[in-house]
Each structure stands twice: as C-alpha cells, then as structure tokens.
Structure 1
Amino acid sequence: MNAATPSRGEAEAAELARLLPESDEDEWELPPGRHLHHKDVLMQQIDRDTEPVHQAPAALAPRRRLLRPAVLMPAAAGLAVAGILAATLPSGGSDGVRDMGAGQGATPGAAVTLDRIANASLKSGTRPVKASQFVYVRSLVRGNDGELNGKVKLGAPYTEQTWFSQDPAPVTDIGMTRESGKGAQMPGQDVPIEASAVDGSEDSGAIPEGPERPTYNWLASLPTDPDALLKKLYAETRVIEGQETKAQAVFDKIGGLLGATIMPPENAAALYKAVAKLPGVTEVPDAVDAAGRHGIGITLDESSYTTREEWIFDKKSFTYLGSRGYMTKNHQPGGRPGREGNPEVLYGSSAVLERAVVDQRGMEPAGESG
C-alpha cells in the first residue's frame, strides 16, 4: 500500500459519508451543559472518573482512572457500549430509582424478538478467549460534532478499532484504540487505554476484571438464569440519581457489553432474556445503524427523558449490528419540544463491522500489526 492509497478505515468512512443524506440536525439544541454530561457518562463505562452517586466512606481507596486524552472515548466501549447517551429527567422528576419488580417487563413484540435474539446467540459458536488475548472490535461511528453551546450536529463518520485486554488480573494496560477517516479525532494514532490511581494514592490504579473491565472470563462467570442475572445487575449497577431510572441504568450497562465484548453464547442469551424483563423495553420495527444497515431495534422507552438509545439487530440472523442515540425532547427554558413530524433527532450512531480475538494489542484479524 503506497502513501496515496487510503486505509481500509478511511475508505469505509468516506464511502459512508458519500451515501448518507445531508441533514439539518444542527438546528436542534441540547440543554445547557448536556454535552459535557454525556461525555462524563460515556467515560464512566471505562474509567469511572466521575463522582459516585453515593459518597463512599473516606477510608476507601481513591478511585482509579484511565489515562488518555479527555476528548477520546472509544465508541465500542461508549457509544454502542453503554449507550451513547444518559437520560435526563426534567426538573421535579422522580428520584431515579425504579423497582425491579415494577411493570410487566418488555412489550409482547419486544419480548418475542429478544427471545429470538437469545436463541440465535446460542448458535453463535463463540470459542473461549484466553487470558493472554485481546478482544478486537472494528466499528463505524458517527458522533455529535456540535460545539458546547448546545448545538446538535452529526459529525463525519469514521472507523474505530479497539483492543481490550482479557487478562483477569488487575492491570493498568487496559487496551488501545485507533481511529481513521474524516471524522476521527486523532486519526492514525495508536492511543493506549491505561489505568492510574488518583494523584497521591499509593494504589497502583490497576483494574481487575469485572463490571468496569468485562473480560470473557468475567462474563462467563455471570449467572445464566435470567432472573438471577438481572438481580445481580440491579445490585451492581450504579444509578445517577435524578438522571436515570434503575431500569435504564441496567439497560445501558447491558448495551455496553453488547457492543464491545465477546462472551459465551449461554451468557449472551441470558442477557437478552434479562432485558425482556425490564419495564419499558419496546421494539422498533425498522432501525438503521451507522453503516446504513436496516434491522430491528430494541429500546427502553422513557417518555419523560430527553434521550433514547436503540440497539439494532439483523432481521434474519438476529446478530447485533450497532446502535443509535436520539434526542427526544428539549428541556431548555423556552426551548422547543421538537419539530412537527420529527419529534426526535439523531444524536449519534455506530455499526459493528468486525469482532474477533487476536493475540497481540494492535494486531488486526488478518494478522497485520499496528
């Protein structure tokens, strides 16, 4: 490949940019400060830099953090990961905690689709991942390129590659990310994802496998009974008080696992069956990922929230395709609730193009090293 030949990622992103229609989504606005809030929530999925909901006792060790540019948020671990957006309750809303037993779970249509997705995942033939290996994910991403004045404007698409360590022991070297394409923030650079303790702490900052670093080995340890799994997720998932319900926090947590990991078929099936038990989960008959692929969407519908995320699955194979995030309302003082005939605006989207296991960080499935 000579210097004039674009990389695979650049070519993919350029082709998608050519095919996607122009939009006027930059006319929409997020409430003041929401861009920074969404960024903070995404970063929680990989380093939990933000403050906890309930203040921890002073005797606890300082929080770990990841060392990488603040503007860099791997989409595979954030956008499709865990949800592209955190929901926001309007002023005077509920306390943000929904009883696990409230409601009747997903709508009938969504429940049937999730059961089909679960059954399809059991036939995936996924092989165990060794502790010495890395989970590789290549995604096409379109994010919000608006300025911090609140404007929502979809940026140019770009390709993102991520490598995540599967070592079960506490590590500071979590993995690496690489971006290419017009919309990339740091094109062509291999940026490590590393953990560190808070300044002044004697803690190394190393993060063990677990909810904040979901390895194949940890995912395999989760209950395969949907009720037991949901109970565990409710107990271990943090809620941002006043900004999300417990059900939505769990929904976003599971969404993060779907886009950025490889897990045993039995555990994947259990996750989908657990989602079917969440109140407010509905089906979207036609949803489109960042690559333009049409599929069936699964979402958690909270009418009082400003944002909503969809997971997208192939209509025939029921494999995971990607995700989309929408702004559903505008809660700014004097702001518009939405234009007639278009009550939602696309905030960002992703498409998982390839998922594999490799032996080295920076290695692509074809065997090329970065």
Structure 2
Amino acid sequence: MDEMTTLRELRADVPVPDRAALAPGRKRLTEAMAGGGRTRRLRADWRIASLGAAAAITVAALLGTQLLDASDPRGTAPATIASNLDLSGPAETLNRAADFVEGATAPPEPRDDQWIYTRGVVAEPELKAGGEGMAEMTYEPDSWSRYGNGAAEKDQSDDDRSAREIYRAAARLPEDPAALLAEVRRLYPADTSGQTRSETEEQQTFRGLSVLLESYPLPPAAVARIYRAMATLPGVGITGHLVKDAAGREAIAVTRDEQGTHERREILLSPYDYTYAGQRFVVTEDYEMKMPEGMPGPGQKFTAGDITINEARTAAAVVDAEGDKP
C-alpha cells in the first residue's frame, strides 16, 4: 500500500480541509524546506508520527496558517459581553449578531499594495484517553499575505483566493439567505478529489461559511448577511453556553455535526463584538480509530467531548508592508 493511499484511508473520517486557507501554509512550508524563516515547535496529532515524513508534510501544509502566539488582542482590561447576547438558539444568536455588526462603521477597503497581518494560536488536542506518538512540527509565529495578489487570482487551478477576491465576493453576496448560501457553495465547491468522505450540501455550505468568515477583512454589512443566512441552514445550532477557544477566551460556538464522522464543526465568535474568533472540532460520540490494514502503530480511542482541533485568531490588521505589525 503506497503512503498517499494510506493517508487517504486514515483521514476518511476527518472533515474536508478548508482549501481556501491552505495557500499561506503552502508558501510557508516551501520557505521552511528551503531553510528560511523562524520556527516554533508544536506537538502534532498522534497520527502524524505514524505516517512518516510524506504525511507530515501534507499536514504541515494543512496547518500552516495555525499560529502559536497566545496573546489576547483585548488586552488585560475586562471586556463587556454584548448586552444583547442570547444563546437560546441559532436564529436568536445570529440575528442579534447580525444587527450588532451591521451597525459598525465600515473601514475603507485596503489598497492593493497593502498586506493582511494575522496572529493566532492552536491548542493541543484534548483527548480523555490520551494521545500516542505526538510528533513535533514547526511553524512561523506570524502571517502576512498581500491584499491584492494578482498571481494568485490568475491561478484558477483551485479555489484559493486572495483577500481582495474574498472581500469583493463578500460585498456582492445577496440579501436573500437561500441565494447567499447557494453563492457560498459556488465559491467553495464540494471536494471531488476522492481523498475524503463525500459532503452533503449542508455540510459543504457550513464549511464554506467557516472559510469565508475566517477571511480578513470583510465588510460589516456582508458579515451581517452571512450571519442571517447561517441561521437558516438546517442542522446549525448554538451550544447554549460560552466555550473556551484555543487562547483561553470565552467564545460563542455555532455548531453543526459533520455527517459521516463522529465530530461536529464549531465556528467561534467573540461574545463582545461578534467577530470571528476561531474554530473547533469536537467529538460527539465514543469511537475508536484503527490504523489502516498493513500499517503499524496503535489505534486511538476518542470520547464524546474530546476536542481534536482548536484554533483561534488573536489578531488581524491591515498593514503597509510585509513584516509590519499593528
């Protein structure tokens, strides 16, 4: 059995990767292989150690945009939770969030020569049964991407997009929720590579919404339309209580079960201003993942409530040059 076939079988239950978020990771991985850039160590999922170097490179590209600085941009002063916060259901939470962000003053669109700076944190998996063979991997601590990236925009080989493309696509999203969700599916099509389990239409839509909300910046009016449309998507829920993101901050969890897996995807929003805070994947039922036939290594037991992926964005800003920080 070749390594890539083994990798596909191993991750059959894993949620479809957000391909629009992979471009910075690919660039960062290439630079790291060339010997450039500062790195920090991160313990990776137990599955990486068992798959060897080829699989580790694949996951490095997937996780390349996850960062390791745990600072909180809200600072040390106590923040005030939004006075209209309601966690009783998706319609109540997301429509109130839409009303809140819609009233924000829209900053000017960035210039084509400006850069988008982001910083974040990824937490280790929280597994009640413990993890085996945790490997170490390296990542850049900060990320910059050109707002107007003409080369990326000309490459139509996949659905990676520049920040400028996403900003303008979001600004054009229709008011009608059903039409908006259909446009999100067009922007982020279903995975057809055969490497992962097939998505349902609703699952594809929720993934696309997650990728779209993760982009920075977005027009406030567009975010409001996205929240109102998300509230209408079948299967979307709210945890009913605040959760902790990878940086230890309180967050609203907008949830949806990933069909064909034992997990749910959670889009995390700030309870202070309803901005995007990060995402988590949480195990919904006990199960055991076994290694593919012919591949050595222990399996892994998962327990309902385990958090397999937990990442947060702790800073985002428009800057004038690569390397600048706010």
- TM-score range (shorter-chain normalised) is 0.5 to 0.7
Name the SS of the counterpart of 2:242 in structure 1: strand
- How far apart, in 2, do the equivalents of 1:126 and 1:76 lie? 30
For structure 1, the residue ranges without an aligned partner over 5 or more in a row are 1-29, 50-64, 80-106, 175-204, 366-370
- The equivalent of 1:8 in structure 2 is none
Letter of the 1:292 partner, please give it: G
Does the C-alpha gap of structure 1 residues 269 and 157 become closer, same or farther in structure 2, counting only changes over 3 Å? farther
Superposed CA deviations along residues 216-260 of structure 1, whole A, max 9, x for unmatched, are 233323334433211212344322364322211221122122223
Alignment pair present for 1:46 and 2:22:
yes
Length-normalised TM-score, structure 1: 0.56
Letter of the 2:89 partner, please give it: G
Matches within 5 A, 1:160-239: 160-167=141-148, 170-172=150-152, 206=155, 212-215=161-164, 216-239=167-190
- How far apart, in 1, do the equivalents of 2:324 and 2:94 lie? 33
Letter of the 2:245 partner, please give it: D
Does the C-alpha gap of structure 1 residues 250 and 155 become closer, same or farther in structure 2, counting only changes over 3 Å? farther
Alignment pair present for 1:116 and 2:104:
no
Q: Please tell me whether the aligned partners of residues 282 and 309 of structure 2 are also in contact (alpha carbons under 8 angstroms).
A: yes
- The equivalent of 1:14 in structure 2 is none
- The equivalent of 2:37 in structure 1 is none
Alignment pair present for 1:270 and 2:225:
yes
Q: Please tell me whether the aligned partners of residues 66 and 311 of structure 2 are also in contact (alpha carbons under 8 angstroms).
A: no
- How far apart, in 1, do the equivalents of 2:312 and 2:95 lie? 22
Alignment pair present for 1:142 and 2:123:
yes
- How far apart, in 1, do the equivalents of 2:141 and 2:62 lie? 7
Letter of the 1:219 partner, please give it: A
- How far apart, in 2, do the equivalents of 1:157 and 1:111 lie? 40
- How far apart, in 1, do the equivalents of 2:147 and 2:173 lie? 16
- The equivalent of 1:318 in structure 2 is 274
Deviation, structure 1 residue 326: 2.0
Length-normalised TM-score, structure 2: 0.63
Name the SS of the counterpart of 1:121 in structure 2: helix
Name the SS of the counterpart of 2:17 in structure 1: helix
- The equivalent of 1:197 in structure 2 is none
- How far apart, in 1, do the equivalents of 2:199 and 2:321 lie? 38
- The equivalent of 1:191 in structure 2 is none
Name the SS of the counterpart of 2:246 in structure 1: coil
- How far apart, in 2, do the equivalents of 1:321 and 1:295 lie? 7
- The equivalent of 1:131 in structure 2 is 112
For structure 2, the residue ranges without an aligned partner over 5 or more in a row are 1-6, 31-56, 68-86, 292-298
Name the SS of the counterpart of 1:326 in structure 2: strand
Matches within 5 A, 1:273-284: 273-284=228-239
- How far apart, in 2, do the equivalents of 1:217 and 1:256 lie? 15
Superposed CA deviations along residues 129-188 of structure 1, whole A, max 9, x for unmatched, are 222212211112225599xxx9596989988422222216x315x9xxxxxxxxxxxxxx
Among 299, 305, 309, the residue aligned to 1:344: 305
Letter of the 1:281 partner, please give it: V
Deviation, structure 1 residue 36: 11
Matches within 5 A, 1:329-368: 329=285, 330=287, 332=289, 338-339=302-303, 343-365=304-326
